[in-house]
């Protein structure tokens, strides 16, 4: 009497499946998707609270100050000992700001640039002002803090 693996169960042989059952994984992913869809409208990404910075230990005595305002205008002035020679000038656009900054930097290449911005101004405009100063060749650019 010879015994085979399938003879004890009525002659049917059993085959093993070498597959992963993905149905539970799909269920978990659907639950996560629903959670993210429900919580995403509750998060408000439009308002970012930036921290306040402390004063630097040694601010420059003479520098070119740029005051950026929310209405896309800016005020450019030279602060320090040379401030009596040049009064502050208001420029109406960011293009004029670059030209005025270039003129002041060509007269005083050793001065640093300090950028002060209104609290309600877009962060992108401050970055563009820093980028404009770097394009001109100014290596010392700082941000004014209160």
* DSSP code at position 121: S
Task: Give the least confident one: 12-16, 59-63, 84-88.
Answer: 84-88
27-58 tens-digit pLDDT:
999 999 999 999 988 877 777 777 776 666 67
Where does residue 102 rank: exposed (0-12), middle (13-18), buried (19+ CB within 10 A)? Answer: middle
Encoded tokens for 141 = 């650019």
The region of weakest confidence among 24-38, 86-100, 129-143 is 86-100
Mean pLDDT, all residues of the chain: 79
DSSP states of 82-120: GGGTS--EEESSHHHHHHHHHHHHHH-TT-EEEEEE-TT
pLDDT of res. 37:
93
Question: What is the per-residue pLDDT for 96?
Answer: 82
What one-character-per-residue DSSP string does 19-68 give?
Answer: ----HHHHHHHHHHHHHHHHHGGG--TT---PPPPPPPSS--SSEEEEEE
pLDDT per position as a tens digit, 73-95? 788 877 776 555 566 777 777 77
Helix 94-107 vs helix 123-136: angle between axes, to the nearest 10 degrees? 40
Exposed e or buried b for every residue in 56-92, given b needs 16+ CB within 10 A? eeeebeebbbbbbeeeeebebbbbeeeeeeeeeeebe
């Amino acid at each position: 009497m010879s015994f085979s693996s399938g003879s004890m169960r009525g002659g049917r042989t059993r085959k093993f499946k070498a597959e992963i059952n993905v149905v539970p994984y799909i269920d978990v992913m659907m639950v996560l998707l629903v959670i993210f869809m429900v919580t995403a409208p509750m998060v408000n990404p439009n308002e970012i609270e930036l921290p306040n910075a402390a004063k630097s230990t040694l601010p420059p005595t003479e520098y070119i100050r740029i005051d950026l305002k929310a209405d896309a205008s800016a005020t450019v002035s030279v602060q320090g000992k040379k401030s009596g020679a040049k009064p502050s000038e208001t420029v109406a656009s960011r293009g004029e700001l670059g030209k005025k900054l270039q003129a002041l930097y060509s007269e005083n290449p050793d001065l640093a640039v300090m950028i002060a911005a209104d609290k309600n101004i877009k962060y992108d405009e401050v970055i563009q002002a820093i980028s404009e100063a770097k394009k001109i060749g100014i290596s010392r650019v700082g941000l004014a803090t209160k």
